[in-house]
Structure 1
């Protein structure tokens, strides 16, 4: 998942590189006599998969930035991704979120890189409040066994 403008730019650059690599591979397919055709197909399929994944990530990031995505979660374990998406969707940078909390931008980068794993509950609530996240669903308790 692309989490900031820097990652967005890096992903776009890598995408161009992969597209060039795929183009070269397809051009050389006919003249490659020492590479088995099945291996060539596997290489091109792998590149195509990576390219499609990057297109999806870029599109998701753009949609989030444009506020075109409704963020919903089904499990509490999805909250970290929802926080990241909500920050992007609100147009807030990692630095701006950090300023509102009173910490350094690098700390927000670490939080997001680790999907908020080591963040205390109070801090999660503070971030959710700043991002105007409201949990509206019910809590379902599973019977103990």
Structure 2
């Protein structure tokens, strides 16, 4: 997951170089005598990684615009906390200062997407970012009545 502008810029540059590398690999495989089907099989992993990076870039661009995915599982809360921090333009350093913890702690928490964090910790992070949430509980169509 891209977590800051520097990583975003690096990813944009990597997308460009990936396309060049994929094209050069296609040429190289063709020169080796591989047919079109063999070439496609050989470059498929490169294309897969490229597409994954494109999705990460797209996700970062959406959160920078304030477009957040709904949270369907409590385990998704961490990713939303990181997205919101990015959206409001707060650095990990600033969040660490507001929480009175080290930047390394914030980095670890975000790397793990706050997995296993207590509700108290989640609430402190939300408060530090002046974040407001509403939880809506819905009854599944297959249950009840």
Task: Please report the TM-score for the alignment, with normalisation by the length of structure 2.
Answer: 0.80
1:80 is matched with 78
Structure 1 gaps of 5+ residues are none
Change (3 A) 1:133 1:71: farther
Q: Is contact 2:95–2:106 with CA below 8 Å preserved after alignment?
A: yes
Aligned-partner Cα distance in 2 for 1:72–1:90: 18
Aligned-partner Cα distance in 2 for 1:87–1:30: 46
- 1:97 is the counterpart of 2:95: yes
2:132 is matched with 133
Show structure 1 runs of 4+ deviating over 6 A: none
Give the aligned length: 140
1:12 is matched with 12
Structure 2 gaps of 5+ residues are none
2:59 is matched with 60
RMSD, matched Cα: 2.4
Aligned-partner Cα distance in 1 for 2:136–2:98: 27
Please give the residue correspondences for 1:12-31 in structure 2 after superposition, counting only pairs within 5 Å. 12-31=12-31
